[in-house]
Amino acid sequence: MMNRTNPSETKLVICVWHPFTEWRPKPAMAEAIRKRWPEMRVLHLPNYDHLAKALPDTDIFVGYSLRAEQLKDAKKLKWIHSTAAGVAQLMYPELRDSGILVTNPSGIFSVPMAEHTMGLLLALARNFPDSVRGQDRARWAQQEIWGKPQRLTELNRKVLLIVGYGSIGREVAKRAKAFDMKVWGVTRSGKGEQAQLHEALPGADYVLICAPETAETKQLISAAEIGTMKRGARLINVARGSLLDEAALIAALENGTLGGAALDVAQTEPLPPESPLWKAPNLFITPHTSGVSDRLWDRQAAILIELLERWFAGRELFNRVDFARGY
């Protein structure tokens, strides 16, 4: 067990800058920590300009990115708490070998992501995207929408295969069962009702990707996997763009192998205007908003304060990142 600090001798630095404003920590998070531990030094940096100066005596770093060259300067660093659930950007050898503890906020995105996913499932089943396009053109497209090969369908009694049956997958399953869907889950560890992805794919009407991004999950769903899916099935990705072969997805949508798809993530974000994904048929895109919620930073602050309570009490921390697994 590493030497834990006590609050009066602890410096905690919060530092995230992201072009999307909602991924930047709110000042209220630093204020809540200061209120709980007035004797602790808490520094909230709105961008990376002054981070180099702040790092040498930092004990705890809160943010989703710290590069190897920055880690060299952080001589006293004992713990990194990532504000992003995905930690692929922290899986470099220098950090892995440093003995520094890494935690993440796993679980706080599960409810908004599950609700968003149900929205995507319904949008695909009821073809909301074409209804919206009709509305934009002031066109009553009833016959047009019904005439599509996908037809308007129901979620009721359909099979939903959840690839990555973690906290997000379980929240989706709870909601999908309320729609009388049959839910199958597959995980890397083999826990779940269907252990093998390839055995489960042909029986699924909807396939949801919500597994973590690791070296092993890169292109987890490629042309081979899409090829084993039921004709007309629908595919949803709310995980990371790297888990899905986008060229294979586009081909399957163009030739009608897949009845539709929805993406909340892409290999390149922001998705450039020239990306062929924008023009792929029967594809619904949301701009990586599934985890965004007006309650996000309240949840972020609550989980960090609970972890800090445990840190100072010398108790076991939850949400520890396993470098071997990559999440």
Provide the annotated active-site residues. Answer: 240, 269, 288
Q: Is 301 helix (H, G, I), strand (E, B) or coil?
A: helix
- Residue 219 and residue 233 in contact, taking contact as beta carbons nearer than 8 Å: no
Position of tokens 């020239």? Answer: 274
CB–CB of 148/90 below 8 Å? no
Query: Which residues touch 309 (CB under 8 Å, ≥6 apart)?
Result: none
Residues 264, 243 contacting (CB under 8 angstroms): no
Question: What secondary structure does DSSP assign to 195-249, as a single string?
Answer: --HHHHGGG-SEEEE-----TTTTTSB-HHHHHHSPTTEEEEE-S-GGGB-HHHH
Residue 18 gets which letter from DSSP?
-
* Residue position matching structure tokens 């053109």: 137
**Surface-to-core class of residue 208, CB atoms within 10 Å of its CB (0-12 exposed, 13-18 middle, 19+ buried):** buried
Query: Distance between CA 38 and CA 319 in Å, rounded?
Result: 25
Q: What token pair was written down for 38? A: 């007035």
Neighbour-count burial for 269-289, b at 16+ CB within 10 Å, e otherwise: eebeeebebeebebbbbbebe
Q: Are 83 and 60 in contact (CB under 8 A)?
A: no
What are the beta bridge partners of residue 13?
A: 43, 61
